[in-house]
Structure 1
Amino acid sequence: MLAISPAQAFVRFAIDSGVLRFGDFTTKAGRQSPYFFNAGLFNDGHKLLQLAQFYANAIVASGIQFDMVFGPAYKGIVLAAAVSMELARLGRNVPFAYNRKEAKDHGEGGTLVGAPLEGRVLIIDDVISAGTAVRESIAIISAAGATPYALAIALDRQEKATENGRDVPHSAVQYVQNALGLQVCKVATLADILGVLEHDADSGHLAQYRDRVQAYRQQYGV
Protein backbone atom coordinates (compact mmCIF):
# COMPACT_ATOMS: atom_id res chain seq x y z
CA MET A 1 0.00 0.00 0.00
CA LEU A 2 1.30 3.45 -0.88
CA ALA A 3 2.14 5.77 1.99
CA ILE A 4 -0.18 8.72 2.52
CA SER A 5 0.80 12.26 3.39
CA PRO A 6 0.08 13.91 6.75
CA ALA A 7 -2.68 15.91 5.03
CA GLN A 8 -4.30 12.73 3.70
CA ALA A 9 -3.96 11.15 7.14
CA PHE A 10 -5.95 14.11 8.47
CA VAL A 11 -8.62 13.55 5.81
CA ARG A 12 -8.95 9.91 6.88
CA PHE A 13 -9.15 11.01 10.51
CA ALA A 14 -11.93 13.47 9.61
CA ILE A 15 -13.84 10.73 7.77
CA ASP A 16 -13.45 8.26 10.63
CA SER A 17 -14.64 10.95 13.07
CA GLY A 18 -17.77 11.70 11.02
CA VAL A 19 -16.53 15.25 10.45
CA LEU A 20 -16.06 14.79 6.71
CA ARG A 21 -19.08 13.19 5.10
CA PHE A 22 -20.10 12.46 1.53
CA GLY A 23 -23.57 12.72 0.02
CA ASP A 24 -25.73 15.68 -0.99
CA PHE A 25 -25.26 18.95 0.88
CA THR A 26 -26.08 22.61 0.27
CA THR A 27 -23.28 25.07 1.01
CA LYS A 28 -23.68 28.63 2.31
CA ALA A 29 -23.24 29.76 -1.28
CA GLY A 30 -26.20 27.61 -2.34
CA ARG A 31 -24.08 25.07 -4.20
CA GLN A 32 -24.89 21.37 -4.16
CA SER A 33 -21.77 19.84 -2.71
CA PRO A 34 -20.94 16.11 -2.64
CA TYR A 35 -19.09 16.53 0.67
CA PHE A 36 -19.51 18.37 3.95
CA PHE A 37 -16.92 19.24 6.62
CA ASN A 38 -18.25 20.01 10.11
CA ALA A 39 -15.38 20.64 12.53
CA GLY A 40 -17.86 20.95 15.39
CA LEU A 41 -18.00 17.15 15.39
CA PHE A 42 -14.45 16.94 16.73
CA ASN A 43 -16.37 16.82 19.98
CA ASP A 44 -14.58 14.62 22.47
CA GLY A 45 -11.22 14.78 24.19
CA HIS A 46 -9.47 12.19 22.04
CA LYS A 47 -10.61 13.75 18.76
CA LEU A 48 -9.65 17.21 19.93
CA LEU A 49 -6.21 15.97 20.97
CA GLN A 50 -5.62 14.42 17.55
CA LEU A 51 -6.96 17.52 15.81
CA ALA A 52 -4.57 19.74 17.76
CA GLN A 53 -1.68 17.47 16.80
CA PHE A 54 -2.53 17.78 13.10
CA TYR A 55 -2.76 21.57 13.38
CA ALA A 56 0.46 21.94 15.37
CA ASN A 57 2.45 19.67 13.05
CA ALA A 58 1.19 21.57 9.99
CA ILE A 59 2.00 24.92 11.60
CA VAL A 60 5.53 23.84 12.51
CA ALA A 61 6.09 22.36 9.05
CA SER A 62 4.89 25.60 7.39
CA GLY A 63 7.77 27.55 8.88
CA ILE A 64 5.47 30.50 9.63
CA GLN A 65 6.94 32.75 12.31
CA PHE A 66 4.54 34.10 14.95
CA ASP A 67 4.50 35.27 18.55
CA MET A 68 1.07 34.14 19.77
CA VAL A 69 -2.19 32.54 18.64
CA PHE A 70 -5.71 33.95 18.57
CA GLY A 71 -8.99 32.03 18.40
CA PRO A 72 -12.05 33.88 17.09
CA ALA A 73 -15.31 33.10 18.88
CA TYR A 74 -16.67 30.55 19.01
CA LYS A 75 -15.03 27.52 17.38
CA GLY A 76 -11.66 29.21 17.34
CA ILE A 77 -11.60 29.46 21.13
CA VAL A 78 -11.20 25.73 21.69
CA LEU A 79 -8.91 25.39 18.69
CA ALA A 80 -6.53 28.10 19.89
CA ALA A 81 -6.32 26.60 23.38
CA ALA A 82 -5.80 23.05 22.17
CA VAL A 83 -3.28 23.96 19.50
CA SER A 84 -1.28 26.15 21.88
CA MET A 85 -1.01 23.20 24.28
CA GLU A 86 0.21 20.91 21.51
CA LEU A 87 2.67 23.51 20.28
CA ALA A 88 4.03 23.71 23.83
CA ARG A 89 4.42 19.93 23.88
CA LEU A 90 6.46 20.25 20.68
CA GLY A 91 8.70 22.83 22.35
CA ARG A 92 7.03 25.96 20.95
CA ASN A 93 5.36 27.62 23.95
CA VAL A 94 3.42 30.72 22.90
CA PRO A 95 0.64 32.77 24.52
CA PHE A 96 -2.93 32.54 23.29
CA ALA A 97 -6.00 34.75 23.43
CA TYR A 98 -9.57 34.74 22.18
CA ASN A 99 -12.52 37.07 21.98
CA ARG A 100 -16.05 36.84 23.31
CA LYS A 101 -19.02 38.03 21.29
CA GLU A 102 -20.47 40.11 24.11
CA ALA A 103 -18.41 42.59 26.11
CA LYS A 104 -18.35 42.19 29.90
CA ASP A 105 -18.90 45.23 32.10
CA HIS A 106 -17.43 43.58 35.21
CA GLY A 107 -14.25 41.71 36.13
CA GLU A 108 -11.59 42.30 33.51
CA GLY A 109 -14.26 43.67 31.17
CA GLY A 110 -14.06 44.00 27.40
CA THR A 111 -14.20 41.30 24.73
CA LEU A 112 -10.68 39.86 24.89
CA VAL A 113 -9.63 36.98 27.13
CA GLY A 114 -6.19 35.48 27.68
CA ALA A 115 -2.76 36.89 26.93
CA PRO A 116 -2.42 40.50 25.71
CA LEU A 117 -2.49 40.73 21.94
CA GLU A 118 0.99 41.71 20.80
CA GLY A 119 3.55 40.89 18.16
CA ARG A 120 2.77 38.68 15.16
CA VAL A 121 -0.52 36.89 15.66
CA LEU A 122 -1.51 33.55 14.17
CA ILE A 123 -5.30 33.23 13.85
CA ILE A 124 -6.62 29.68 14.21
CA ASP A 125 -10.00 28.70 12.75
CA ASP A 126 -11.61 25.67 11.13
CA VAL A 127 -12.57 26.70 7.58
CA ILE A 128 -13.25 29.99 5.83
CA SER A 129 -15.94 30.61 3.24
CA ALA A 130 -15.98 34.36 2.62
CA GLY A 131 -13.23 35.80 4.81
CA THR A 132 -15.70 37.72 7.00
CA ALA A 133 -14.56 36.13 10.26
CA VAL A 134 -10.92 36.70 9.30
CA ARG A 135 -11.57 40.39 8.67
CA GLU A 136 -13.24 40.66 12.08
CA SER A 137 -10.21 39.00 13.71
CA ILE A 138 -7.86 41.34 11.86
CA ALA A 139 -9.80 44.35 13.16
CA ILE A 140 -9.64 43.07 16.76
CA ILE A 141 -5.93 42.29 16.58
CA SER A 142 -5.04 45.57 14.88
CA ALA A 143 -7.11 47.60 17.36
CA ALA A 144 -5.05 46.05 20.16
CA GLY A 145 -1.83 47.20 18.50
CA ALA A 146 -0.72 43.74 17.37
CA THR A 147 0.00 42.48 13.85
CA PRO A 148 -2.41 40.06 12.12
CA TYR A 149 0.21 37.86 10.51
CA ALA A 150 -1.09 34.44 9.51
CA LEU A 151 -4.05 32.08 9.53
CA ALA A 152 -4.19 28.33 10.20
CA ILE A 153 -7.24 26.36 9.06
CA ALA A 154 -8.19 22.71 8.98
CA LEU A 155 -9.49 22.53 5.40
CA ASP A 156 -9.09 24.64 2.29
CA ARG A 157 -12.04 23.84 0.02
CA GLN A 158 -10.10 25.32 -2.95
CA GLU A 159 -13.26 26.63 -4.57
CA LYS A 160 -14.45 29.95 -5.91
CA ALA A 161 -15.78 32.35 -3.32
CA THR A 162 -19.03 34.22 -3.84
CA GLU A 163 -19.67 37.94 -3.59
CA ASN A 164 -23.19 39.35 -3.75
CA GLY A 165 -24.45 35.94 -4.82
CA ARG A 166 -22.02 35.58 -7.72
CA ASP A 167 -18.95 33.42 -8.17
CA VAL A 168 -15.60 35.20 -8.22
CA PRO A 169 -12.38 33.79 -9.70
CA HIS A 170 -10.57 33.49 -6.38
CA SER A 171 -11.09 31.34 -3.30
CA ALA A 172 -11.56 32.61 0.24
CA VAL A 173 -8.02 31.47 1.06
CA GLN A 174 -6.60 33.33 -1.94
CA TYR A 175 -8.52 36.43 -0.82
CA VAL A 176 -6.98 36.18 2.65
CA GLN A 177 -3.51 35.77 1.16
CA ASN A 178 -3.68 38.37 -1.60
CA ALA A 179 -6.13 40.99 -0.35
CA LEU A 180 -5.63 40.76 3.41
CA GLY A 181 -1.92 39.94 3.29
CA LEU A 182 -1.90 36.97 5.65
CA GLN A 183 0.09 33.78 5.23
CA VAL A 184 -2.16 30.73 5.34
CA CYS A 185 -1.36 27.30 6.78
CA LYS A 186 -3.77 24.55 5.71
CA VAL A 187 -3.88 21.18 7.40
CA ALA A 188 -5.55 19.70 4.28
CA THR A 189 -7.17 20.74 1.00
CA LEU A 190 -9.77 19.48 -1.43
CA ALA A 191 -6.89 18.00 -3.43
CA ASP A 192 -6.02 15.90 -0.39
CA ILE A 193 -9.61 14.68 -0.15
CA LEU A 194 -9.43 13.64 -3.78
CA GLY A 195 -6.10 11.96 -3.08
CA VAL A 196 -7.73 9.82 -0.40
CA LEU A 197 -10.64 8.98 -2.69
CA GLU A 198 -8.20 8.02 -5.42
CA HIS A 199 -6.16 5.94 -2.97
CA ASP A 200 -9.37 4.14 -2.04
CA ALA A 201 -10.52 3.73 -5.64
CA ASP A 202 -9.80 0.05 -6.17
CA SER A 203 -11.38 -1.56 -3.14
CA GLY A 204 -12.63 0.95 -0.60
CA HIS A 205 -16.14 2.20 0.08
CA LEU A 206 -15.11 5.79 -0.67
CA ALA A 207 -14.53 5.10 -4.36
CA GLN A 208 -18.18 5.79 -5.22
CA TYR A 209 -17.72 9.48 -4.32
CA ARG A 210 -14.55 10.15 -6.30
CA ASP A 211 -16.17 11.15 -9.61
CA ARG A 212 -18.71 13.44 -7.96
CA VAL A 213 -16.08 15.26 -5.92
CA GLN A 214 -13.86 15.57 -8.99
CA ALA A 215 -16.77 17.00 -11.01
CA TYR A 216 -17.48 19.51 -8.24
CA ARG A 217 -13.87 20.61 -8.26
CA GLN A 218 -13.88 21.01 -12.02
CA GLN A 219 -16.98 23.20 -11.81
CA TYR A 220 -16.08 25.37 -8.82
CA GLY A 221 -12.39 24.82 -8.18
CA VAL A 222 -9.59 27.38 -8.31
Structure 2
Amino acid sequence: MISESKKQFIEFMMAAGVLRFGEFKTKSGRLSPYFVNTGNYRTGAQISRLGEFYAQCIHETCGDRFDAMFGPAYKGIPLVTSAAGALARCHGTDKPFFFNRKEAKDHGEGGNLVGYQPQDGDRIIIIEDVITAGTAVRETVPVLLSAAQVQVSDMFISVNRCEIGQQSDRTAVMEVKEEFGIDVHALVDVRDLCEYLRGQGGYAEVLEAMERYMDRYCKF
Protein backbone atom coordinates (compact mmCIF):
# COMPACT_ATOMS: atom_id res chain seq x y z
CA MET A 1 0.00 0.00 0.00
CA ILE A 2 1.30 3.42 -0.94
CA SER A 3 2.54 5.49 2.00
CA GLU A 4 0.84 8.72 3.03
CA SER A 5 3.95 10.77 2.26
CA LYS A 6 4.14 9.38 -1.29
CA LYS A 7 0.43 10.02 -1.77
CA GLN A 8 0.88 13.61 -0.63
CA PHE A 9 3.76 14.14 -3.04
CA ILE A 10 1.87 12.71 -6.03
CA GLU A 11 -1.15 14.90 -5.25
CA PHE A 12 1.18 17.88 -4.86
CA MET A 13 2.69 17.27 -8.33
CA MET A 14 -0.72 16.82 -9.92
CA ALA A 15 -2.16 19.96 -8.31
CA ALA A 16 0.80 21.98 -9.61
CA GLY A 17 0.42 20.60 -13.15
CA VAL A 18 3.86 19.01 -12.87
CA LEU A 19 2.64 15.42 -13.27
CA ARG A 20 0.53 15.17 -16.39
CA PHE A 21 -0.99 12.38 -18.45
CA GLY A 22 -1.34 12.19 -22.24
CA GLU A 23 1.40 11.60 -24.81
CA PHE A 24 4.81 13.17 -24.34
CA LYS A 25 8.17 12.70 -26.03
CA THR A 26 10.89 12.26 -23.40
CA LYS A 27 14.57 13.18 -23.68
CA SER A 28 15.25 9.55 -24.58
CA GLY A 29 12.92 9.87 -27.60
CA ARG A 30 10.27 7.57 -26.15
CA LEU A 31 6.58 8.47 -26.31
CA SER A 32 5.43 8.37 -22.71
CA PRO A 33 1.84 8.38 -21.37
CA TYR A 34 2.92 10.58 -18.47
CA PHE A 35 5.38 13.38 -17.96
CA VAL A 36 6.98 15.13 -15.02
CA ASN A 37 7.83 18.77 -15.74
CA THR A 38 9.25 20.52 -12.69
CA GLY A 39 9.35 23.71 -14.75
CA ASN A 40 5.64 24.03 -13.97
CA TYR A 41 6.27 24.92 -10.32
CA ARG A 42 5.51 28.62 -10.43
CA THR A 43 4.80 29.98 -6.95
CA GLY A 44 6.76 30.56 -3.80
CA ALA A 45 4.53 28.20 -1.83
CA GLN A 46 5.02 25.41 -4.39
CA ILE A 47 8.81 25.64 -4.54
CA SER A 48 9.01 25.92 -0.76
CA ARG A 49 6.92 22.78 -0.27
CA LEU A 50 8.87 20.94 -2.94
CA GLY A 51 12.08 21.72 -1.10
CA GLU A 52 10.60 20.22 2.04
CA PHE A 53 9.81 16.95 0.26
CA TYR A 54 13.39 16.74 -1.04
CA ALA A 55 14.88 17.81 2.29
CA GLN A 56 13.02 15.08 4.16
CA CYS A 57 14.36 12.42 1.79
CA ILE A 58 17.90 13.81 1.99
CA HIS A 59 17.71 14.00 5.78
CA GLU A 60 16.49 10.41 6.10
CA THR A 61 19.07 9.10 3.61
CA CYS A 62 22.24 11.10 4.22
CA GLY A 63 21.71 13.13 7.36
CA ASP A 64 24.50 15.72 7.22
CA ARG A 65 27.09 13.30 5.78
CA PHE A 66 27.88 15.33 2.66
CA ASP A 67 29.67 18.56 1.86
CA ALA A 68 27.62 20.32 -0.82
CA MET A 69 24.56 20.04 -3.06
CA PHE A 70 24.61 20.43 -6.84
CA GLY A 71 21.70 21.26 -9.16
CA PRO A 72 22.31 20.76 -12.91
CA ALA A 73 21.14 23.56 -15.18
CA TYR A 74 18.43 24.35 -15.75
CA LYS A 75 15.70 22.56 -13.82
CA GLY A 76 18.06 21.47 -11.08
CA ILE A 77 18.79 25.09 -10.14
CA PRO A 78 15.51 25.90 -8.32
CA LEU A 79 15.39 22.34 -6.98
CA VAL A 80 18.78 22.50 -5.25
CA THR A 81 18.12 26.05 -4.02
CA SER A 82 14.81 25.08 -2.46
CA ALA A 83 16.12 21.82 -1.01
CA ALA A 84 19.10 23.56 0.58
CA GLY A 85 16.81 26.13 2.18
CA ALA A 86 14.43 23.48 3.49
CA LEU A 87 17.28 21.39 4.92
CA ALA A 88 18.50 24.37 6.92
CA ARG A 89 15.00 25.50 7.93
CA CYS A 90 13.44 22.15 8.80
CA HIS A 91 16.38 19.95 9.80
CA GLY A 92 19.12 22.32 10.94
CA THR A 93 21.48 21.08 8.21
CA ASP A 94 23.06 24.12 6.56
CA LYS A 95 25.03 23.01 3.52
CA PRO A 96 26.40 25.00 0.57
CA PHE A 97 24.86 24.54 -2.86
CA PHE A 98 25.91 25.33 -6.41
CA PHE A 99 24.85 24.90 -10.01
CA ASN A 100 26.29 25.21 -13.48
CA ARG A 101 25.81 27.46 -16.46
CA LYS A 102 25.19 25.93 -19.85
CA GLU A 103 27.93 28.22 -21.21
CA ALA A 104 31.01 29.32 -19.29
CA LYS A 105 31.10 32.99 -18.30
CA ASP A 106 34.07 34.88 -19.76
CA HIS A 107 33.85 37.98 -17.51
CA GLY A 108 33.52 38.74 -13.82
CA GLU A 109 34.41 35.66 -11.78
CA GLY A 110 34.31 33.53 -14.95
CA GLY A 111 33.82 29.79 -15.05
CA ASN A 112 30.68 27.70 -15.44
CA LEU A 113 29.84 27.04 -11.76
CA VAL A 114 27.79 29.42 -9.64
CA GLY A 115 27.74 29.39 -5.84
CA TYR A 116 29.93 27.03 -3.86
CA GLN A 117 33.20 26.05 -5.52
CA PRO A 118 33.85 22.35 -4.88
CA GLN A 119 37.12 21.24 -3.30
CA ASP A 120 39.14 18.05 -3.64
CA GLY A 121 37.67 15.36 -1.41
CA ASP A 122 34.17 16.88 -1.21
CA ARG A 123 31.21 14.52 -1.08
CA ILE A 124 28.59 15.97 -3.42
CA ILE A 125 24.92 15.07 -3.78
CA ILE A 126 22.94 15.91 -6.92
CA ILE A 127 19.39 17.26 -6.90
CA GLU A 128 17.46 16.57 -10.11
CA ASP A 129 13.91 16.04 -11.37
CA VAL A 130 13.76 12.62 -13.06
CA ILE A 131 15.91 9.95 -14.68
CA THR A 132 14.65 8.44 -17.92
CA ALA A 133 17.63 7.06 -19.86
CA GLY A 134 20.41 8.55 -17.74
CA THR A 135 21.53 11.03 -20.40
CA ALA A 136 21.52 14.05 -18.07
CA VAL A 137 23.61 12.25 -15.44
CA ARG A 138 26.27 11.42 -18.00
CA GLU A 139 26.41 15.12 -18.85
CA THR A 140 26.50 16.21 -15.20
CA VAL A 141 29.21 14.02 -13.70
CA PRO A 142 32.00 15.29 -16.01
CA VAL A 143 31.11 18.87 -15.02
CA LEU A 144 31.66 18.03 -11.37
CA LEU A 145 34.81 15.98 -11.88
CA SER A 146 36.37 18.72 -14.00
CA ALA A 147 35.92 21.18 -11.12
CA ALA A 148 37.66 19.13 -8.41
CA GLN A 149 38.40 15.58 -7.30
CA VAL A 150 35.00 15.12 -5.71
CA GLN A 151 32.98 12.07 -4.76
CA VAL A 152 29.43 12.08 -6.11
CA SER A 153 27.72 9.75 -3.67
CA ASP A 154 23.97 10.23 -3.97
CA MET A 155 21.36 11.70 -6.28
CA PHE A 156 17.83 12.72 -5.35
CA ILE A 157 15.02 12.89 -7.88
CA SER A 158 11.27 13.42 -7.86
CA VAL A 159 10.29 10.36 -9.88
CA ASN A 160 12.13 7.17 -10.79
CA ARG A 161 10.61 6.13 -14.11
CA CYS A 162 12.30 2.68 -13.74
CA GLU A 163 13.13 2.63 -17.44
CA ILE A 164 15.85 0.69 -19.18
CA GLY A 165 18.93 2.71 -20.03
CA GLN A 166 21.48 2.04 -22.73
CA GLN A 167 21.35 -1.70 -22.03
CA SER A 168 18.13 -3.67 -22.28
CA ASP A 169 18.75 -5.65 -19.10
CA ARG A 170 19.39 -2.68 -16.79
CA THR A 171 17.48 0.40 -15.78
CA ALA A 172 19.04 3.83 -16.13
CA VAL A 173 19.27 3.99 -12.33
CA MET A 174 21.18 0.69 -12.26
CA GLU A 175 23.56 1.99 -14.92
CA VAL A 176 24.18 5.19 -12.97
CA LYS A 177 25.15 3.09 -9.96
CA GLU A 178 27.41 0.82 -12.01
CA GLU A 179 29.09 3.58 -14.03
CA PHE A 180 29.48 6.29 -11.41
CA GLY A 181 28.85 4.67 -8.03
CA ILE A 182 25.91 7.01 -7.43
CA ASP A 183 22.94 5.83 -5.36
CA VAL A 184 19.72 7.30 -6.75
CA HIS A 185 16.88 8.05 -4.33
CA ALA A 186 13.43 8.92 -5.65
CA LEU A 187 10.53 10.47 -3.79
CA VAL A 188 8.25 8.15 -5.77
CA ASP A 189 8.57 5.74 -8.68
CA VAL A 190 6.28 4.77 -11.55
CA ARG A 191 4.78 1.88 -9.57
CA ASP A 192 3.73 4.34 -6.85
CA LEU A 193 2.04 6.47 -9.52
CA CYS A 194 0.08 3.49 -10.81
CA GLU A 195 -0.90 2.36 -7.34
CA TYR A 196 -2.13 5.84 -6.52
CA LEU A 197 -4.20 6.07 -9.73
CA ARG A 198 -5.78 2.67 -9.12
CA GLY A 199 -6.85 3.82 -5.69
CA GLN A 200 -8.47 6.95 -7.06
CA GLY A 201 -10.59 5.41 -9.80
CA GLY A 202 -11.40 7.01 -13.14
CA TYR A 203 -7.96 6.43 -14.65
CA ALA A 204 -8.57 3.18 -16.52
CA GLU A 205 -7.30 4.43 -19.89
CA VAL A 206 -4.27 6.13 -18.36
CA LEU A 207 -3.38 2.99 -16.41
CA GLU A 208 -3.75 0.83 -19.51
CA ALA A 209 -1.38 3.12 -21.44
CA MET A 210 1.09 3.22 -18.55
CA GLU A 211 1.08 -0.55 -18.20
CA ARG A 212 1.79 -0.97 -21.93
CA TYR A 213 4.63 1.51 -21.66
CA MET A 214 6.05 -0.15 -18.56
CA ASP A 215 5.93 -3.57 -20.22
CA ARG A 216 8.01 -2.19 -23.09
CA TYR A 217 10.47 0.11 -21.36
CA CYS A 218 10.55 -0.56 -17.62
CA LYS A 219 12.42 -3.07 -15.51
CA PHE A 220 11.89 -3.76 -11.81
Q: Give TM-score scaled by structure 1 length.
A: 0.88
**Greater alpha carbon shift after TM alignment, 181-190 vs 129-138:** 129-138
CA contact (8 A) 2:19 2:35 kept: yes
1:63-83 CA distance string (max 9 Å, x none): 363211011111111111111
Distance 2:42 2:168 in 1: 34
List aligned pairs for 1:178-193, cutoff 5 A.
178-193=178-193
Moved more, 52-61 or 30-39: 30-39
> 2: distance between equivalents of 1:59 and 1:131?
21
Give, in angstroms, the shift of residue 56 of structure 1. Answer: 0.8
Alignment of 1:188-199 (within 5 A): 188-199=188-199
Residue equivalent to 1:7:
6
C-alpha contact (below 8 Å) 1:12/1:196 kept by paired residues: no
- Counterpart of 2:100 in structure 1: which amino acid? N
Find the aligned partners of 1:192 and 1:33 in 2 and give their Cα distance. Answer: 16
SS of equivalent residue, structure 2 residue 109: coil
Gapped regions of structure 1 (runs ≥ 5): none
Partners of 2:62 and 2:16 lie apart in 1 by 28
Q: Which residue is 2:159 aligned to?
A: 155
- Secondary structure of the structure 1 residue equivalent to 2:169: strand
1:137–1:25 CA distance, 2 compared to 1 (3 A): closer
Aligned equivalents of 1:25 and 1:77: distance in 2? Answer: 23
| CA distance in structure 2 between the aligned counterparts of 1:172 and 1:129, rounded to whole angstroms | 7
CA distance in 1, matches of 2:30, 2:116: 40
Does the 8 Å contact 1:58/1:187 carry over to 2? yes
Aligned to 1:124: 127
Which runs of 5 or more residues in structure 2 are unaligned?
Answer: none
Partner of 1:138: 141
The equivalent of 1:112 in structure 2 is 113
Paired residues of 1:101 and 1:111 also in contact (CA < 8 A): yes
Deviation per residue, 1:108-152 (Å, 9 max, x gap): 111111112131000111112332322232222222222222111
How far apart, CA to CA, are the structure 1 residues paired with 2:20 and 2:96? 34
Distance change in 2, residues 1:38/1:106 (3 Å): same
Q: CA RMSD in A?
A: 2.0
Q: Is the 8 A contact 1:56 1:87 kept in 2?
A: yes
Query: How far apart are the structure 1 equivalents of 2:2 and 2:11?
Result: 13
Give the conservation status (yes or no) of the 8 Å contact 1:123–1:137: no
Q: How does 1:47-86 map to 2 (within 5 A)?
A: 47-63=46-62, 65-86=65-86
What is the CA distance between 1:24 and its match in structure 2? 2.5
Moved more, 26-35 or 169-178: 26-35
> Tell me, what secondary structure is at the counterpart of 2:168?
strand
Q: How does the TM-score come out when normalised to structure 2?
A: 0.88
From the superposition, tell whether residues 91 and 189 of structure 1 become closer, same or farther in structure 2 (CA, over 3 Å). Answer: same
Q: CA deviation at 1:176?
A: 0.9
Q: Secondary structure at the match of 1:179?
A: helix
* Structure-1 separation of matches of 2:2 and 2:209: 24
State the alpha-carbon separation in 1 of the partners of residues 123 and 78 from structure 2.
20
Superposition pairs of residues 161-172 of structure 1, within 5 angstroms: 161=165, 163=166, 168-172=168-172
For residues 210 and 8 of structure 1, what CA distance do their matches in structure 2 show? Answer: 17
1-structure distance, mates of 2:48, 2:39? 14
Change (3 A) 1:209 1:130: closer
CA distance in 2, matches of 1:181, 1:134: 12
> For 1:122, what is the secondary structure of its paired residue?
strand
